[in-house]
Amino acid sequence: MNRLSAVLLCFMLSYSVSANAQYIPVRTRWVGPGHPVSKEEYETAHPMPEDVHIRPLANLTMVAKDARPTVLCLIHPLYTETLASSLELWVSDVSREGWNVVSFEYYGGDAESLKTFLEVQWAFTDSLDGVLFVGEMPVAWFEHNEENPYTGEYERTIFPCDLYLSDMNGAWLDVNSNGLIDTVWGSFAPELWLGHILVNEPDSSVRLDKLREYFRRNHEWRTEETMRYGNILGYIDDDWADSWEEYGDYLSETGLIKTNILDGATTVAWDYRDRIEAGYDMMHLSAHSSPWGHFFMIGDEWTGGDFTVYELKETLQKVRFYNLFCCSNASYVEEDYMAGEYVLGYGEGLAAVGSTKSGGMWADSLFYSALGDSATFGDAFRKWFVASSTGGYIPSISDRISWWWGMTIIGDPTLRLTPAPASIKEEEKISANLSVYPNPFNSHLRIETGRNAEVEIYNIKGERILAGLESSGNGEFIWRPGKALPAGVYLILVRDGKTSSTRRAIYIK
């Protein structure tokens, strides 16, 4: 079926989301100086040739004979040689973890030509999971009208929309022929995840140095050559603090030790800076923002100060993964965009989810639970996005553009927050009559299986630290960690000879 036929079929069967729809007000907003860069401004500053340059990269392609999911890597020509050793190491790491990797040098054209290329790859590649962009690629711009919740007026909003590129079977249209996508017919749930490794600052030597450092950290995280903190922080400013515990607090589903900072007088700029220097595997930040900063409130007043990307560059940032519920903070078309500095700066960042416009990841239980089950960052993000795109969270089609459609991943989506032990296969897991409590625990952990079973204990690196835990009778086990064992997240594996089941337990001292 050609593209025109698909468009006509979707037109007959489905509905549209257009620029003229009425939109439910949102609580997020652009705060701070400046304005979103326009399509014209961006393309003037970042011109691309009309013709598309595509070259397969044999040295960065590894395809196994057995059936595997595939990662497509598109690399800007500036980096195919200058980052060759870093990219070859990344391909080796990803292949060893069970993916096929297919790489192309890609440059030029527009978003439509890039989407066509991705559609062809998706159609002819078995189990294509997602795409990693290394360097600058064509940008898909979406246009719609959004109600300003403070004035009640409708304002024209234009933003980069990765969903256009990751949806393989919807029909996306520019109804008013102004060069901006404004309508989609049919299904628009993403079939692929996308990740951007893009340092958007003018100094080319700094860009290259940051990218090399990023791939070095990436390798160390995969090979367990860096310390895992074993904790996650929710830093929630005043506008969301009241509803956080009831609607948004799913951080413990990652299996990491959770800390929530909700007090209005505490969530201020100077405290936030101290927190990100303390060391966390992941942080969820909810704060009014722009691409270049966060702006904190105390009650209804803007007295909590601001924390900018320029201060971030001078901060010893020690957070690996971010969920940035921060307007426009992941707008990768902006120079010095903040999510890029979190992930690709000289700190410890590895990946972030955030939005290129107002909005963020609301109702994020699926995202955090998937990360806790050792899903990749990309698969956890896609699982959440599919649910929100198909009405799994919000009944109103119109509200999704306001919240979801600017969402993107900055960094490598093939990374995992909590790796699963190699000896525990996903297909072997069962919903056994397994109870593990208290959790978190201090002196001892009670494990109840309800049957005869064997119990083994693993640390978060997948190393077995205890085998053959003895039962106290009736399928009950007591684990008392030795004093030398560090606090952190541990995996409890229960086998009954035919099946197995796992639980996570948090040991605190």
Taking the C-alpha atoms of residue 314 and residue 109, their distance in angstroms, rounded to an integer, is 37
Per-residue pLDDT tens over the stretch 212-230: 999 999 999 998 888 899 9
What radius of gyration do the chain's Cα atoms show?
Answer: 23
Per-residue pLDDT tens over the stretch 61-74: 998 877 789 999 99
In this structure, whether the domain defined by 426-507 belongs to CATH 3.30.365.10 is answered with no
- Lowest-confidence pick of 165-169, 303-307, 454-458: 454-458
On the question of pLDDT at 357 being above 60, the answer is yes
pLDDT of residue 419: 72
Taking the C-alpha atoms of residue 361 and residue 323, their distance in angstroms, rounded to an integer, is 8
Please give the CATH architecture assigned to the domain spanning 211-411: 3-Layer(aba) Sandwich (3.40)
Q: Which tokens go with 111?
A: 């978003």
CB 466 within 8 A of CB 457: yes
Taking the C-alpha atoms of residue 377 and residue 374, their distance in angstroms, rounded to an integer, is 9
Q: Is 339 exposed, middle or buried (0-12, 13-18, 19+ CB in 10 A)?
A: buried
Q: What is the mean pLDDT of the chain?
A: 84
pLDDT of residue 64: 83
CB 269 within 8 A of CB 320: no
CB 144 within 8 A of CB 178: no
- Lowest-confidence pick of 50-59, 223-232, 242-251, 395-404: 395-404
Taking the C-alpha atoms of residue 244 and residue 234, their distance in angstroms, rounded to an integer, is 9
On the question of pLDDT at 397 being above 50, the answer is no
DSSP string over 39-63? HHHHHHHS---SS-EEEE-GGG-B-
Taking the C-alpha atoms of residue 82 and residue 55, their distance in angstroms, rounded to an integer, is 16
Choice between 490 and 407, residue whose per-residue pLDDT is larger? 407
On the question of pLDDT at 181 being above 80, the answer is yes
Tokens 């003895």: give the residue: 470
Bridge-based pairing of strands 435-437 and 407-411 is unpaired
pLDDT of residue 400: 60
On the question of pLDDT at 429 being above 70, the answer is no
Choice between 145 and 54, residue whose per-residue pLDDT is larger? 54
Q: How far is CA 14 from CA 22, 116, 186, 385, in A?
A: 18, 22, 5, 20
Which stretch of DSSP H or E encloses residue 338? helix 338-344
Beta strands in 108-222 (DSSP E): 128-134, 141-147, 154-160, 171-173, 183-185, 193-197
Q: Which tokens go with 122?
A: 């998706």
Average pLDDT over residues 124-139: 92
Candidate ranges 178-187, 246-255, 312-321, 490-499; pick with highest mean pLDDT = 312-321
pLDDT of residue 202: 85
Q: Considering the chain, what percentage of its residues have pLDDT values greater than 70?
A: 85
Candidate ranges 7-16, 103-112, 196-205, 380-389; pick with highest mean pLDDT = 103-112
The greatest distance separating any two alpha carbons of the chain, rounded to the nearest whole angstrom, comes to 73
Collapsing DSSP to helix, strand or coil, 284 comes out as strand
Beta strands in 317-451 (DSSP E): 319-325, 351-355, 407-411, 435-437, 445-448
Collapsing DSSP to helix, strand or coil, 407 comes out as strand
Q: How far is CA 241 from CA 167, 195, 293, 297, 356, in A?
A: 34, 30, 20, 11, 23
Residue 363 pLDDT class (50, 70, 90 cuts): confident
So where are the chain's domains? 3-185, 211-411, 426-507
Average pLDDT over residues 39-52: 93
